[in-house]
């Protein structure tokens, strides 16, 4: 009686693992591509395939269905691209776990990708192909050399904004980079993220808008023929225009959090933190009602969260505070 076909039989020939020699399946591609700093693995593979006029990288990476290639991803790319192992490892963070002794894995990962600055891409020889990179943290938004805002938004996320009319945005990036270098990315990035969240909440209430609006006028020209679109591309410009304030706010909160514990407690109790904040960020108008006590409590909690650990569940109290005031 014939046996029913097994799963492997239906799928095709079984992979051969018992050959007496190691088959060399890959050979260098005719055209190589230099990897871009922080590039994603997918982006690099795609560019390598396009440079060699392959429609799909998968066929290049796995040329045989039945001969098992013993090389790992890093070794395959090394053979195919002809690039040195070190430059692949330093440029593409996703490969680093294959050889942590050469390039240590990243200390902080965001899983956020965006397009690299197009002009930097051209300089690095992208020939117009988009290059996608992993961002270092949410504070990594501007190409300082070309003065371009790179982060995406709701509409056309690949359009990059020229911020040369607003040099304060570039200075904000320089300030944040300096803070990152001084404090270390693992310490700085989650704290910046928290500060940016809180600042957008303060901004939403329209208390401190004059500076942001002045910057926005330099980089965004509204189309007068169209009705204003609250959810349109203007949001990206608003985020860029808010950036200098967010940078200074982060610096302010970090400076507050570095005070000794007793001094912090005194400034929280006496409301000095609120006064210092108002001096650094003058309000457009004097708010009424419960806004000032809310702001004071928010600042105190933010400083404490930044001092201890921004990822700790206690920081969620800040979320509750927003909600209680919003509803």
Sign of CA dihedral 249, 254, 255, 260: positive
Phi, psi of 279, deg, nearest 5: -70, -40
Least distance (Å) between residue 146 CB and Zn ion: 3
Binding site for Zn ion (CB under 5 A): 117, 119-120, 143, 145-146
38: which residues sit within 8 A by CB, 6+ positions away? Answer: 91, 92, 93, 116, 133, 134, 135, 136
Nearer to Zn ion by Cβ, of 58 and 123: the residue is: 123
Closest by CA position to 242, among listed 264, 214, 271, 273: 214
Instruction: For the CB of residue 50, give the shortest distance to Zn ion in the complex, in Å.
Output: 21
Element (H, E) at 202: helix 185-204
Residue bearing tokens 């001094």: 263
Q: Which residue is nearest to Zn ion (CB)?
A: 117
Q: Of 39 and 203, which has the nearer Cβ to Zn ion?
A: 39
User: Judged by CB, which is closer to Zn ion: 176, or 298?
Assistant: 176
Minimum distance from residue 46 beta carbon to Zn ion (Å): 20
Query: 116 or 299: whose CB is closer to Zn ion?
Result: 116
Cβ closest to Zn ion, residue 77 vs residue 131 = 131
CB within 8 A of 223, min separation 6: which ones? Answer: none
* Integer Cα distance of 115 and 151 in angstroms: 8
- Please tell me the distance from the alpha carbon of residue 162 to that of residue 320, in angstroms, as a whole number: 37
Nearer to Zn ion, 38 or 274 (CB): 38
In the complex, what is the shortest distance from the CB of residue 122 to Zn ion, in angstroms, rounded to a whole number?
9
């Amino acid at each position: 009686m014939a046996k029913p076909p097994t799963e492997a039989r239906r799928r095709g020939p079984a992979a051969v693992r018992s050959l007496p020699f190691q088959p060399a399946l890959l050979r260098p591609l005719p055209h190589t591509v230099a990897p871009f700093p922080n590039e994603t693995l997918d982006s690099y593979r795609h560019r390598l395939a396009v440079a060699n006029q392959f429609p799909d990288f998968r066929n290049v990476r796995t040329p045989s269905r039945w001969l098992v290639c013993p090389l790992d991803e890093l070794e395959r790319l090394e053979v195919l691209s002809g690039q040195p192992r070190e430059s692949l490892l330093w440029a593409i963070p996703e490969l680093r776990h294959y050889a942590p002794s050469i390039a240590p894995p990243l200390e902080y990962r965001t899983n956020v990708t965006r397009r690299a600055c197009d002009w930097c891409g051209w300089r690095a020889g992208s020939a117009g192909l988009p290059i996608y990179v992993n961002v270092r943290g949410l504070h990594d938004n501007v190409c300082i050399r070309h003065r371009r805002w790179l982060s995406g938004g709701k509409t056309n996320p690949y359009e990059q904004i020229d911020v040369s009319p607003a040099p304060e945005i570039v200075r904000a990036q320089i300030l944040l980079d300096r803070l990152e270098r001084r404090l270390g990315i693992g310490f700085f990035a989650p704290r910046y993220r928290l500060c940016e969240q809180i600042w957008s909440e303060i901004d939403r209430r329209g208390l401190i808008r004059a500076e942001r609006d002045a910057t926005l006028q330099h980089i965004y020209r509204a189309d007068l023929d169209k009705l204003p679109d609250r959810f349109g591309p203007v949001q990206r410009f608003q985020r860029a225009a808010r950036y200098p304030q967010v940078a200074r706010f982060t610096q302010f909160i970090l400076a507050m959090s570095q005070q000794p514990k007793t001094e912090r407690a005194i400034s929280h109790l006496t409301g000095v933190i609120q006064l210092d904040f108002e001096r650094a960020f003058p309000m457009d108008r004097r708010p009424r009602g419960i806004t000032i006590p809310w702001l004071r409590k928010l600042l105190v909690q933010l400083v404490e969260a930044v001092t201890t650990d921004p990822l700790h569940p206690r920081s969620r109290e800040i979320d509750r505070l927003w909600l209680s005031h919003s509803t």
